[in-house]
Structure 1
Amino acid sequence: MTAGRGDRAAPPAPEGHWEVRFADGASAKGWESLAQQAPENTYRGWLVMRTDPAPTVETARHHRLKGTLAHGIHRGRTCEQRQIEVTSGGRIWYLVDRARDTCWITFAGTGHPRATDRR
């Protein structure tokens, strides 16, 4: 989908920052719901992905996923998958594509992701 009248214009990543992109349409739709429910926390999550997507010191609210969720594949590349807890149930999952300096958002939503219930 191309940008149109009234759409937000995301700034390009400056030197030393990461691009933040949606891996699919569902993650983009979930992002909008999350941004409506918790705009400040969603913005902070975006800043983290933009500036320090894979911090050395993890926290309970920002960490690498475990088990089979620890990695994901996007455009033929296997990347580590991380999570930012935006609200008590809201999450952002993203892949850290070091070759492209890009974070690919694979899930964003206001509810706790069911995929973690199986782990």
Structure 2
Amino acid sequence: MTAATGNVNRALHGAVSTIVAGYLTDSGLDATARPHMPRGSRLSDVLAAELEHGADGDVRGVNDVWIGVTSRQAFKPADDLDRARTGADVTGRTTAVAVQWRSGRPAADAYALLSLRDLVRLLGGTPPP
């Protein structure tokens, strides 16, 4: 899975991921943006980062939650949530969240998408099979 899920501009994606992680941190959560390698990085550095963080979401550190961020203009919630669910399954996390950045709006106005099953888990319930 690429670092810039569905995003054409990796620099913009990295900046948005950092803003989302900062918002979560300012809200009292332990969150950091996934490190993104700048263009022109040595191949060995890029590969080492992928080995270390390849299955991580775009925002790391939130307990048992896989978070993917997209900053693209085309809104594709089903695709983004499927990617987040796959990332959560691969890393063994129970909750998958896809954050859709809204250009020109504050970070608090970004959409956070999750399945009803994951919402039930976050609220402390047990989803039926």
Same fold (TM over 0.5): no
Q: Which has the higher helix share?
A: 2
Report which of the two structures shows the higher radius of gyration computed on alpha carbons: 2
Larger RCO (alpha carbons 8 Å, 6+ apart) = 1
